[in-house]
Amino acid sequence: SGMRLPLWLQRTIGRTPILIRYSPLAILAGVFALLAGISIFLTQVYLNANFRSQVNVDNSTLNIFHVSGSPGLVLLADMFSIDLNGQKFSVHWSLVGACGQQFTGLPTDDCIQNQFVNNIALYLNENATVNWNITAPIGTFDSPTVQNLPPVKYIPGRGQLPVQEYDTDLNMDPFLPYTLQKQVSILYYPFDEHSAYLSLLAIDTDSNKSLPISGVIGFGSMVNWIGISAFYPTTVGDETLYALALTAKRQKMVKAFALVLVITNWVLSVTILWMTILVLFRAKVNDGLILASTTVLFALPQIRASMPDSPPFDIAGYFMNVCLVSICTSILLFSQLQYRYRPPDTTPVGLPPSQRAAFLVGTK
């Protein structure tokens, strides 16, 4: 007689005889459906992390991006690329619209998308009180171009896109020795954050006067990263200065995946350590398991290389894992040599002690 199933399981199978006939296929289909549902859910979470709101000048969107809605221009800064080796951000700049009737030309103080009456030149890291006009702007936004849309704007779904867009490369904050913000270092992976700081100056090219900026919609369209921004209008005397901080940090799914791989490496490393301790205390361990330590040693770099944008070196994870497994593997191999190797015994086994001594004397 074989082992009997638990009573509760017998009752469950008895109520659902389909499990007896189709259980392998049903389990496979159920697991596949579960994994597909989780994959779809995580994909939606991944996409919504970056593209959480459509760019427009609705009050809800302005609140999300902390745009005040005061009279002035509304700019867009899209961080579309990050170069950690070169320490640079690549940013798309465009003019979303304006707020206030003196800037939109409409009888309302609301913010209007793709509507402004000024011809604008945008400068970075310049001040209106100095000779800003000796440098070139990153781009100009012409009001007639917005008022007279090109034919491409009439393609369905593209009516609200900006007519003009300009790209710049921004240096990440280089002042780590001054600020000691160690989180900006890639050694903080996967919790590192990288920022660029700049000032904005909008000039009316017809009057050469500075224009107020209501706010900046800043986000990131980079893979595996989330882009956020902070806008800082500051009044100095009779002038208002506008500063912007652009920050990129890794998505939560990237952090979670990296942590899963780190935990996997540590579980493998601690397992090899535990096996080494057992062997040192002369516990009997299968030879195949001991040889598995060398497999783990070569598997660690491959597991870590699968981390998204992983740095070449870190101390808390990869370095300690490799050191620990290397030491344990060496100990296991030397222990195997010590336990398995025995020098040949020339003493005759079948003789009593007195005859054995005489035999040994005679052999000499």
Cα–Cα distance, 329 to 322 (Å, whole number): 10
At residue 211, the pLDDT reads: 93
At residue 357, the pLDDT reads: 55
Q: Which residue carries 């003789």 as its tokens? A: 351
Cα–Cα distance, 249 to 32 (Å, whole number): 33
Residues 6+ positions from 147 with CB-CB distance below 8 Å: none
Cα–Cα distance, 81 to 221 (Å, whole number): 8
Residues of the chain with pLDDT under 70: 1-6, 8-23, 49-53, 128-130, 174-176, 180-183, 314-316, 338-364
At residue 14, the pLDDT reads: 60
At residue 1, the pLDDT reads: 47
* Residue pLDDT, tens place only, 242-294: 999 999 999 888 888 888 988 999 999 999 999 888 888 877 777 777 778 88
- Does residue 9 contact residue 17 with C-beta atoms inside 8 Å? no
DSSP per-residue string spanning 310-348: --S--IIIIIHHHHHHHHHHHHHHHHHHHHH--PPP-S-
Cα–Cα distance, 27 to 21 (Å, whole number): 12
